[in-house]
Amino acid sequence: MSSRVAATGGGASQSSRVRGTVRGLAVACHTGPTVMVTLLAAAFALGVGASGPTTALVAAAVLAGQLSVGWSNDWLDAARDLAVGRTGKPVVDGLVTAAQLRAAALVALGACVVLSVATGWLPGAVHLVAVASAWAYNLRLKSTVWSPLPYAVSFGLLLLFVVLAVTGTAAAPWAIAATALLGVGAHVANTLPDLEDDAATGVTGLPHRLGRRLASVVAPLVLVGATAVALLGPATPPGPVRWAAAGVAAALAVVAGVIGWTRPASRAPFTLSMAVAAVCVVLLVTAGSDVAL
């Protein structure tokens, strides 16, 4: 009886560890951004007329790339997070080890290479450059004044990758510019909730150097700039609905900037900036074939 109890207890313990590892990997991949970027790529693909299988392939390649970026981020930051006891991080909380994250990131990166090339050599190469740019952020650029650059490059190339994979033609310059600005604005906004924690672990990118008050104003301004390009860039003139959406985005940006300047501790600028980004994404996706040359 005692041996069976011990065996059962050992099995339960093993099962608990597995669940903890799975949960840790889910958190460490930065689930929200990973899902959002993957859905954005799928929406772009459908918007330019992709078939179901092509959309699935593009989404799978982007998902693998995003998983590699998310896991590599927490792997490379593990020592700093442990040094300051940054709770909420899977390595600090004991759910996964840095070695497990490294292995997961490299496996995901390998899958990304295979899936990206499966879309075609040229679009595949473009996507791999986008992923390499994101890795460069994790490896070094996140702690420099150039921290927005990988976001601009990776987001701009994401759209180019999707359009090349689906249509075989390049994306329109205005669409690449809009997605690049979207990436920069999202980067600044995404740092707002964690500015102090990041600084404590030695991460001092451009938003950290600007400070919370100024970054809270810059984020919505850049995002509304992206929205303006997405509104006015397409060859098809914007209709009343698109104008109204852009107006809502501009109003949200103004409110976010005012709150960010007057109440730096508020989380509202982050939430409002994400709402502006959502409007921009809708305008880009609904531009349809206009995003392609």
The CATH code of the domain that includes 204 is: 1.20.120
What whole-number distance in Å separates Cα of residue 101 and Cα of residue 99?
5
Residue 98, domain member (yes or no): yes
pLDDT range class, residue 125, cuts 50, 70, 90? very high
pLDDT over 70 (residue 109): yes
50: three-class secondary structure by DSSP: coil
Do 57 and 32 fall into the same domain? yes
Report long-range pairs for 129-134 (Cβ below 8 Å, ≥24 apart). Answer: 129/153, 129/157, 130/65, 130/154, 130/157, 130/158, 130/161, 131/65, 131/68, 131/69, 133/157, 134/65, 134/69
Residue 1, domain member (yes or no): no
Do 247 and 134 fall into the same domain? no
Residue 47, domain member (yes or no): yes
pLDDT over 80 (residue 197): no
pLDDT over 60 (residue 190): yes
Do 135 and 121 fall into the same domain? yes
Largest CA distance in the chain: 78
| Residues in contact with 209: Cβ distance below 8 Å, sequence separation at least 6, in sequence order | 145
Do 163 and 184 fall into the same domain? no
Q: For the chain, how many structural domains are there in total?
A: 2
pLDDT in tens, 61-99: 999 999 999 999 999 988 888 887 777 889 988 899 999
Domain boundary residue, one of 118, 137, 169: 169
Task: Give the predicted TM-score (pTM) of the model.
Answer: 0.90
Do 59 and 142 fall into the same domain? yes
Do 119 and 207 fall into the same domain? no
What does the pLDDT read at residue 11? Answer: 58
Do 157 and 226 fall into the same domain? no
pLDDT above 70 coverage of the chain, percent: 96
Residue 2, domain member (yes or no): no
| Rounded mean pLDDT, 124-151 | 96
Ranking 1-15, 86-100, 249-263 by mean pLDDT, the lowest is 1-15
pLDDT in tens, 9-47: 555 577 778 888 899 999 999 998 899 999 999 999 999
Question: Which domain covers residue 248, as residue numbers?
Answer: 172-293
pLDDT over 50 (residue 2): no
Domain boundary residue, one of 169, 199, 218: 169
Do 205 and 257 fall into the same domain? yes
pLDDT in tens, 53-63: 999 999 999 99
